[in-house]
Amino acid sequence: MLFSEQLRKAVDPIWEASFHHPFVKELGEGTLDLRCFRYYVLQDSYYLTHFAKVQALGGAMADDLQTTASMAHHAQNTYEAELRLHETFMKELGITEEEKASFVPAPTAYAYTSHMYRAAFAGHFGDVLAAILPCYWLYYEIGERLKHCKPNHPIYAKWIEAYGSDWFKQLVEQQIARLNDIAETVSAKDLERMKQHFWISSQYEYLFWDMAYKLEHWPIEEEDVYAKERA
């Protein structure tokens, strides 16, 4: 069994929970509250900004220039395809520049990106791939599951179209193959650490849907702290 197959089998219960999360199901049905999707777009834009940086870090850690160039291409795709799609969503949802400027990442978004940085700075290129791959792979599988859905809201249809596309499938398959190649060259201890990164990221993917669906916020808001200081 390939290393990627071992990972996918280990996280199947977590991914099944993502497939059946009300955020994902209602997005496919077109019944998701736009407030949740609006919140998701802001948080995911923050996440993707850091995801692209971690992709670039992975490229810098690669052993050969071809892989470095490929990871740079992946980071560029995150910006040109996914982040630009989110910019389109922001315009359609009426998200203002003031809202962007005052944005604060939610606890889950902050923790997930911190996890990816930790994997990168405490490990090697294989750790980076293991930490970022669930985002690629899970979104592709969700896109495949939803691609025949016909939500009555154009924003949801665009989201499904992006992640159910052939270009995204190619990106996912490249990273899976790359992870399997690395798995053949590292130690058993490295593999266990990479498995843990993959498992944790899969958990965070589920938590990200939950965060958006529940409009997660910090338990003590910034304005509450300032109010206490003024008092």
| Consecutive 10-residue averages of pLDDT for the chain (231 residues) | 97 98 97 96 94 94 90 85 82 92 96 98 96 96 94 93 87 94 96 98 98 96 59 54
Task: Give the pLDDT score at 73.
Answer: 87
Task: Return the half-sphere exposure (C-beta side, CA atoms, 13 A cut-off) of residue 187.
Answer: 5
CB atoms within 10 A of CB 22: 15
DSSP code string of 19-49: HT-HHHHHHHHT-S-HHHHHHHHHHHHHHHH
Q: Where are the domains of the chain?
A: 3-230
Gap between the Cα atoms of 156 and 72, Å rounded: 29
Active-site residue identified among 87, 205, 221, 223:
205
Task: Give the pLDDT score at 148.
Answer: 92
pLDDT in tens, 129-146: 999 999 999 999 999 999
| 161 noted as active-site residue | no
Task: Give the pLDDT score at 144.
Answer: 95
Active-site residue identified among 5, 16, 97, 135:
135
Residue pair 125/119 in contact (Cβ under 8 Å)? The answer is no
| 205 noted as active-site residue | yes
Domain 3-230: which topology? Heme Oxygenase; Chain A (1.20.910)
